[in-house]
């Protein structure tokens, strides 16, 4: 068993929303770099099982746990499930990396955004990372990492994403406070901010709307829209030992979108 002051040789990452899209790519890239993975899924049990099998096929240990990040009342029970899974699957007491990735999309003009929609974006994109990180900190090794997933929309404006972009901006401020307060435990906290990515996120508009895809590509220095592996590889890099001195920072991976 490990202690809070001695991180194990093989790190364990916990990724929320790891059954598809960016989270799936993160999990697989981390497995390629020798990291064991716990990831969550909301309802896609078959997809989660497939990702777990892919990680195991890479020679790493993996576990998939159900979690609705919008329901913070369940976080204590989830922490207990993580603790049990650490002991059962990994023979350990603590994990090393927390990636707050799970999210939902919202496209609505300010004048048409309802209170219910605003509350939902708040619960998923700010309240969840705040309270879930708080709840899981006792299970993290000293010297670990917190990586919060933001968005290029916290830097650039795109009509219809005011609620989403604003919550991501709040998440970025929270991350700087995390970095300051977790410093005594040598836990770093950073933000990765993806640009537009071709996934099913937000109804798959960036992937499936050819006109929108072309417009975003034209506004991106590298001339294309991002794909999940652009972000999965970036997360693996940001969690690598060589990135240990990065702390309290926002790093955008957007191919130069909106420069």
| pLDDT tens column, 196-245 | 988 776 666 676 678 888 888 999 999 999 999 999 999 999 999 999 99
Q: Which member of 7, 25, 150, 166 is catalytic?
A: 150
Question: Do residues 40 and 15 touch, judged by C-beta distance below 8 A?
Answer: yes
pLDDT, tens digit, for every residue of 73-113? 999 999 999 999 999 999 999 999 999 999 998 999 999 99
CB atoms within 10 A of CB 210: 8
Q: Which member of 42, 164, 166, 254 is catalytic?
A: 164
CA distances from 148 to 47, 92, 100, 123, 172 (A): 23, 24, 5, 15, 8
Q: Which member of 19, 151, 154, 254 is catalytic?
A: 151
CB-based burial label for 113 (10 Å; 0-12, 13-18, 19+): middle
- Known catalytic membership, residue 254: no
pLDDT at 65 over 80: yes
Domain-by-domain residue ranges, the chain?
A: 12-198+228-253
Report d(CA 54, CA 69) in Å as an integer.
24
pTM exceeding the 0.85 threshold for the entire prediction: yes
CA distances from 141 to 6, 54, 182 (A): 7, 26, 12
Average pLDDT over residues 167-186: 98
- Known catalytic membership, residue 97: no
Q: Residue 126's closest CA among 166, 186, 167?
A: 167
CA distances from 223 to 22, 208, 220 (A): 20, 17, 5
Q: Which member of 97, 154, 168, 254 is catalytic?
A: 168
Q: Residue 172's closest CA among 126, 215, 139?
A: 126
- Known catalytic membership, residue 164: yes
Task: Given CATH 3.20.10.10, say whether it is the number of domain 12-198+228-253.
Answer: no
- Known catalytic membership, residue 42: no
């Amino acid at each position: 068993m490990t202690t809070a002051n001695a991180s194990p040789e093989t790190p364990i990452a916990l990724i929320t929303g790891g059954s598809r899209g960016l989270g799936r790519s993160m999990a697989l890239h981390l497995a390629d770099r020798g990291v064991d993975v716990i990831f969550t899924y909301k309802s896609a049990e078959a997809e989660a099982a497939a990702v777990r099998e892919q990680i195991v096929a890479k020679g790493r240990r993996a576990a998939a746990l159900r979690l609705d990040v919008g329901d913070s009342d369940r976080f204590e029970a989830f922490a207990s499930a993580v603790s049990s899974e650490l002991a059962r699957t990994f023979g350990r007491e603590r994990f090393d990396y927390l990636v707050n990735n799970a999210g939902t999309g919202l496209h609505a003009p300010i004048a048409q955004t309802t209170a219910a929609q605003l509350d939902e974006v708040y619960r998923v994109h700010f309240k969840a990372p705040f309270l879930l990180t708080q709840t899981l900190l006792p299970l993290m090794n000293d010297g670990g990492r917190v990586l919060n997933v933001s968005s290029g929309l916290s830097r650039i404006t795109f009509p219809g994403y005011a609620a989403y972009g604003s919550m991501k901006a709040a998440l970025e401020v929270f991350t700087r406070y995390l970095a300051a307060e977790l410093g005594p435990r040598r836990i770093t906290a950073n933000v990765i901010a993806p640009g537009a990515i071709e996934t099913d996120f937000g109804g798959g508009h960036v992937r499936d709307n050819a006109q929108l895809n072309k417009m975003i590509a034209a506004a991106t220095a590298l001339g294309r829209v991002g794909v999940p592996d652009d972000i999965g590889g970036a997360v693996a890099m940001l969690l690598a030992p060589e990135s240990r001195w990065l702390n309290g920072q926002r790093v955008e991976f957007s191919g130069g979108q909106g420069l």
